[in-house]
Amino acid sequence: MLRLAFPQFAQRSRETNAMAQQDAEECWSQILSILRTNVKTPNSELSFVDTFMSVSITSTLTCDESPDEPVSTTTESFFKLNCHIASTTNFMGDGILAALSGKLEKHSDILGRNAVWTKTSKVTRLPKYLVVHFVRFYWKRDSNKKAKILRKVKFPLELDATAYCTEELKKKTLPVRDALREVRKKHEEAERARKRARVQAEVDSTDGKTKESTEPEMAVDDIDPETLIDAQLREDVGSNPTGLYELTGVLTHAGSNADSGHWQGWTKQTEGGSIRLKALLILDEWWRFDDSKVTSVPESKILTLDGGGEADTAYSTCLK
């Protein structure tokens, strides 16, 4: 059906007559366009994609060569954040920040010629589902071919996206984010205390001591993060009011050549699913999709997909 709708994905290699290598981002964009047109948000006429996957970004343009040139401001919606990879990029967050700022050449009315401008962008809306695209493929002018950047770029299991937001959006999300982190901290401390109490009880039992259970109760949270959600963000049902994201999917490309290689998908098992699926999981939390072969893998494997060679390398990540 995909090849019928988009014939480019039915192209075959001239050398082998096998299916030609295609760009995963292009495939994803085409599928997203179909979903955007045909899938609506429940109880709404709005597109599901626009509601739950749209990132709003405000950009300002200032002329480096003419301070008197008026500042230009625009707001646009995108369905991903880019991660630019330079020779010094080691972390996904650095690549995202690099993609949100840059230099460009544009006409200056005051100077009457092209001049250098600085573009600075900030996020004004975070969606529930966030896609980060690693810009690993680029056009190599000297060879006139598409090339791949193999550099290792680490990505987190949890992303704090508030660093990319406007001050206005930060003020709305930071109280909820901090309260949520405090709740997690209390739960983790309570869990550690319970484990210590159980270990001590086992030691006492071995020593022949009889002791009443001293296992601590769960910490009572002083603040419920839900009560701190900004009114506007609460009304925007498809937005993320905390700025925090959990990694739930990774798309990888193996190989050093941009025109060949192998694509795979890796997804985290979240709540829900069939009883059989849950039974198969045991201790593993992630699924590896290698064409028709699906296997479970530990989370530690996911952290090895950060590149540095021809092995499976993150090309896109999905967070929610």
| Residue 277 in this model has a pLDDT that exceeds 50 | no
- Read off the pLDDT band of 261 (50, 70, 90): confident
Give the pair of three-digit tokens for residue 185.
């901290």
Above pLDDT 70, what percent of the chain? 91
CA-wise closest residue to 305 among 148, 154, 103: 154
Could you write out the DSSP letters of every residue in 74-130? EEEEES-EEEE--TT--BHHHHHHHHTEEEEEEEETTTTEEEEEEEEEEEEE-BSSE
pLDDT at 124: 98
Could you write out the DSSP letters of every residue in 276-312? HHHHHHTT--EEEEETTEEEEE-HHHHTT-B-SSSS-
pLDDT at 15: 81
Say which amino acid occupies 85.
I
pLDDT at 225: 84
- Read off the pLDDT band of 284 (50, 70, 90): low
pLDDT at 274: 46
Q: What is the CA radius of gyration of the chain?
A: 24
CA distance 69 to 80: 31
Q: Is 72 helix (H, G, I), strand (E, B) or coil?
A: strand
pTM of the model: 0.84
- Read off the pLDDT band of 280 (50, 70, 90): very low
Give the chain's mean pLDDT. Answer: 87
pLDDT at 25: 86
Instruction: Report yes or no: 111 and 65 within 8 Å, Cβ to Cβ.
Output: yes
Span 100-145, pLDDT tens digits = 999 999 999 999 999 999 999 999 999 999 999 999 988 877 777 7
Question: Of 60-74, 133-147, 168-182, 210-224, which range is least confident?
Answer: 210-224
Span 33-66, pLDDT tens digits = 999 999 998 888 889 999 999 999 999 999 999 9
Question: Of 5-14, 46-55, 207-216, 257-266, which range is least confident?
Answer: 207-216
| Residue 83 in this model has a pLDDT that exceeds 60 | yes
Name all domains of the chain by residue range, CATH numbers in brackets: 25-165+243-319 (3.90.70.10), 176-230 (no CATH)
- Read off the pLDDT band of 283 (50, 70, 90): very low
Q: CA of 304: how far to CAs of 16, 91, 257, 308, in Å?
A: 32, 13, 20, 10
CA-wise closest residue to 66 among 124, 113, 15: 113
| Span 252-261, average pLDDT | 86
pLDDT at 207: 67
Q: CA of 205: how far to CAs of 149, 217, 221, 276, in Å?
A: 59, 21, 33, 39
Quickly count: other Cβ atoms within 10 Å of residue 117's Cβ: 22
| Residue 221 in this model has a pLDDT that exceeds 90 | no
| Residue 272 in this model has a pLDDT that exceeds 70 | no
pLDDT at 211: 52
CA distance 197 to 135: 49
Q: Higher confidence at residue 223 or residue 269?
A: 269
